[in-house]
Structure 1
Amino acid sequence: MALKADLRKAYLVQRRGMSEQEAEALSQDIARQFFTHFQPKAGQTVHTFLPIQHHREINTWYIIQEIWDRYPDVQVSVPISDLKDGSMSHFLLMPDTELQENRLGIPEPVNALPLPESEITTVLVPLLAFDRQGHRVGYGKGFYDRFLALLPQNSQKIGISFLPPIDRIDDVHANDLVLDAVVTPEKVWTFDVEKKGPSSEQDSEDIQEEA
């Protein structure tokens, strides 16, 4: 059986076994796939995590920098996590925003402008594994499960993954959130949230138009 706890352990080991060069090359491929399928629009806010790069997390700075360079009317927001209650607050990230690492090594903004969940139109969701139905395995702390439940219904929830999906995560709960799409280095997987199943790459444009 493909259980979340087992997948989490296995994929953490696999990710940390990557070389820095391999992780950087795959992160660049993910950024190219993202901008090929999802074109941010003026007035939108793209929310992303900031990577702990020595843990071989996907380097989202390639996406952030391209938004700053090519989409000046699109905002970037990043979270600050409350490690006591498992909640997240969200802040505007600018090229001159000061960052400092929390005790988990996650870069977080200092003295940045807070943003409410209602302004967030697209979220890049971290994950370790995902399945063909659009379910994800995260780090197990529940930060993103709580956050994503607070978003407007039409906000895009887009996972990013170094690896392709597995067939099925077996211990999915009835209230587990289904992602709209997952970007991998090779392609974009999209999901029919109503039917909780896989769709085609071409559906990515439809998702963007609904945002």
Structure 2
Amino acid sequence: MEAKGNIRKEVFARRRAATQEEIQEKSRMIYEKITALPEFLDADCFFAYMDFKKEVMTRDLIEKALQMGKTVAVPRVEGDDMVYYEIKDFSTLKSGYFGIMEPDGGKVCTREEGFLLVPGVAFDPARHRVGYGKGFYDRFLAAHPGFTTVAAAFEFQLFDAVPFEETDVLPQMLVTEQKIYR
């Protein structure tokens, strides 16, 4: 766990050092890669996360999915679990868990398949993921295995190898501004 903690500190420092312009430009490059994926184009439902503190920006992806007529859902933390709620725009979101924007109620999305975007603190080329330490995504994905899972990250979040455990669920793809890892 100490190794994961050190990796988190390093990535948080890298994110703080990145300018907003860098985050926007690299997010745009990731957006272009994700929206060109056949898995994204073919999905009826897009499960997104709301970006927070210089994560890969997701609003443009959400808007694109809505324009394409996809059902869009974003998570809300409820106790030890994440529950995805459908959204039609950003007006129903409020500051929630750790200040992350999340739905203020609405319709729970019960779909068991779709294109699910996974956040993370750090990754390696084998798609192992270090999250924020609460296990929300690992638990959700273990209980709902039918999704196409794609992590979005900046190259500065990649390490040669990150620690992982048996309970960690690997995303099927990792998309950075430079490359798609499968």
TM-score, normalised on structure 1? Answer: 0.78
Counterpart of 1:105 (choices 86, 99, 112) is: 99
Partner of residue 133, structure 1: 126
What 5-or-longer segments of structure 2 have no aligned partner?
none
Question: Can you list the C-alpha shifts for 1:127-150, whole angstroms capped at 9, x where unaligned?
Answer: 111112211011111111111111
What 5-or-longer segments of structure 1 have no aligned partner?
191-211
Change (3 A) 1:14 1:174: same
Counterpart of 2:110 (choices 111, 116, 133) is: 116
3-state secondary structure, aligned to 2:42:
coil
Q: What is the distance in 1 between the residues matched to 2:169 and 2:97?
A: 28
Amino acid paired to 1:49: Y
Is residue 2:173 matched to residue 1:175?
Answer: no
- Structure 2 counterparts to residues 1-211 of structure 1, below 5 A: 3-38=3-38, 39-41=40-42, 44-52=44-52, 55-69=53-67, 71-72=68-69, 74-82=70-78, 85-95=79-89, 97-116=91-110, 118=112, 120-153=113-146, 155-163=147-155, 165-169=158-162, 171-190=163-182
Amino acid paired to 1:15: R
Give the root-mean-square deviation of aligned CA atoms.
1.9
Q: CA deviation at 1:97?
A: 4.2
Amino acid paired to 1:41: D
Change (3 A) 1:17 1:96: closer
TM-score, normalised on structure 2? Answer: 0.90
Percent identity between matched residues is: 27
Change (3 A) 1:58 1:19: same
Q: What is the distance in 2 between the residues matched to 1:99 and 1:175?
A: 30
- CA radius of gyration, larger in: 1
3-state secondary structure, aligned to 1:40:
helix
Runs of 4+ in structure 1 deviating by more than 3 angstroms, as ranges, are none
3-state secondary structure, aligned to 1:124:
strand
Amino acid paired to 2:62: I
